[in-house]
Amino acid sequence: MSDQRVALVTGSSSGIGAAVARRLAEAGLRVVVNSARSVEAGRALAAELPDAVYVQADVSVEAEAAGLVAAAVEAYGRLDVLVNCAGTTRFIPHHDLDAASPEVWRHLYDVNVIGVWQTITAAVPHLRKTGGAVVTVSSQAGVRPGGSAIPYAVSKAAVNHMTKLLAKTLGPEIRVNAVAPGLIDTPWFDGVEGAEAAKEHVAAVVPLRRTGRPEDVAGAVFDLAHSPYITGEVLLVDGGGHLLG
């Protein structure tokens, strides 16, 4: 087994995931880039990074989540860091209860909660061997009553609690943490009605007076992945937005 550390970053073809992949690669880790659909973008990012590979897989499908982890280990012989960035949402006003249908709930839970669970459980045997770390990208919406939709916010609250439960369960061999970003300017918001107004509002009211950038979240993910005495933490990366009333 090579001594060079290996990171698997799900949902890393763009946005926060791509920034995380770049940050880990800059630190000398070999990175496995992943996406469910954006194959061309994922392959382009892997080609940009030193000694990286791309694997297409949908983490909401159990066999594909397991196959993704297996492909990472097959490529490099080890796994040290798992970053769960794969996620999805629907933009539904909170008052529109009918639009938040059971179908929406199931889809968001399949990706945001069950997909995270399936990828972590597949990675556990390999992370135990390396004393590895898991970092999941959650959301401020899982901590405060906000977000793009009620089902989305609840799915992220579930991820936060999962993080704490797994930290208790998997220690001392594996550390499990999460980051909870506020509004981060990513392609998620392209074409979304009201997105620009929301960005302007956040920049006007949060203590740091700007929206977040993917690199802000990537730095927090990197720090948690490399902090040997932190586990069970859900770190808010929101420019101080949680301090507002």
Quote the CA–CA distance of 217 and 137 in Å, as a whole number.
9
Nearest to 36 by CA among 101, 96, 74, 86: 86
- Rounded to two decimals, the pTM is 0.95
Instruction: Answer yes or no: are the C-beta atoms of 132 and 79 closer than 8 Å.
Output: yes
Instruction: Answer yes or no: are the C-beta atoms of 31 and 7 closer than 8 Å.
Output: yes
**Sign of torsion over alpha carbons 179, 117, 63, 30:** positive
Q: What percent of the chain has pLDDT over 70?
A: 99
pLDDT at residue 221 in the model: 98
pLDDT at residue 1 in the model: 66
Instruction: Answer yes or no: are the C-beta atoms of 184 and 16 closer than 8 Å.
Output: yes
Q: Which residues, other chains included, contact 222 with Cβ-Cβ below 8 Å and sequence gap of 6+? A: 20, 23, 24, 27
pLDDT at residue 63 in the model: 98
Beta pairing partners, 55: 34
Domain 6-237 adopts which CATH fold?
Rossmann fold (3.40.50)
Q: In what order do the strands lie in the sheet with 6-10?
A: 53-56, 30-35, 6-10, 81-84, 133-137, 175-181, 234-237
Phi, psi (deg, nearest 5) at residue 179: -115, 145
Mean pLDDT by 10 residues, the chain (245 residues): 90 97 98 97 97 98 98 98 97 96 98 98 98 98 94 98 98 98 84 82 92 96 98 97 87
CA dihedral of 132, 134, 135, 137, whole degrees rounded to 10: 150
Catalytic residue IDs: 152
Cis omega (within 30 of 0) for bond into 172: yes
Q: Which residues, other chains included, contact 92 with Cβ-Cβ below 8 Å and sequence gap of 6+? A: 99, 100, 104, 148, 149, 150, 151
